[in-house]
Amino acid sequence: MTIAAEGSPTKPIAIVPAALVTIGAILLFWVLTDWGYLPLVVGVIGGILTDRAGASSKLGQDLSVVAIALTWISFISLHADISNAGIAGFTIALGGAVILPYTITRWGSKDRRIRFPWAGGRWTKRMWTYIVVVVLAAYLILPFYFLTSGVYRNWPAVQDWDMIARLFLGVNAVGLWDELFFICTVYTLLMRHFRPWLANILQAGIFVSFLWELGYQSWGPLLTIPFALVQGAIFSWTQNLLYVVTVHLLFDAVVFLVIVHAHFPEALPIFPLVRGF
Burial class (CB in 10 A: 0-12, 13-18, 19+), 6: exposed
Contact between 141 and 57 (Cβ < 8 Å) = no
> Is 90 exceeded by the pLDDT of residue 103?
yes
For residues 120 and 99, what is the distance between their CA atoms, to the nearest angstrom?
22
Spatial distance between the Cα atoms of 191 and 29, rounded to a whole number of angstroms: 23
pLDDT of 120 over the 90 cut: no
Q: What is the pLDDT of residue 3?
A: 47
Report residue 9: phi and psi, to 5°.
-70, 140
HSE of 157, CA atoms in CB hemisphere, 13 A: 7
Number of H helices, E strands in the chain: 10, 2
For 210-224, what is each residue's pLDDT tens digit?
A: 999 999 999 999 999
Task: Say what the pLDDT of residue 7 is.
Answer: 44
14-61 pLDDT tens trace: 999 999 999 999 999 999 999 999 999 999 999 999 999 999 999 999
- Considering only the C-alpha atoms of the chain, give the largest distance between any 2 of them, rounded to a whole number of Å: 63
Quick one: pLDDT band at residue 5, thresholds 50, 70, 90?
Answer: very low
User: Which one, of 184, 163, 196, lies nearest residue 101 by Cα?
Assistant: 184
DSSP β-bridge partners for residue 9: 3
Q: What is the rounded end-to-end Cα distance, in angstroms, of the chain? A: 48
In this structure, of 141-145, 198-202, 264-268, the range with the lowest mean pLDDT score is: 264-268
Average pLDDT on 75-80 reads 92
Position 64, amino acid: S
Residue 8: pLDDT band by 50, 70, 90 thresholds?
low
SS3 2: strand
Q: State how far the Cα of 212 lies from the Cα of 154, in Å rounded to an integer.
A: 11
Q: Supply the pTM of this predicted model.
A: 0.93
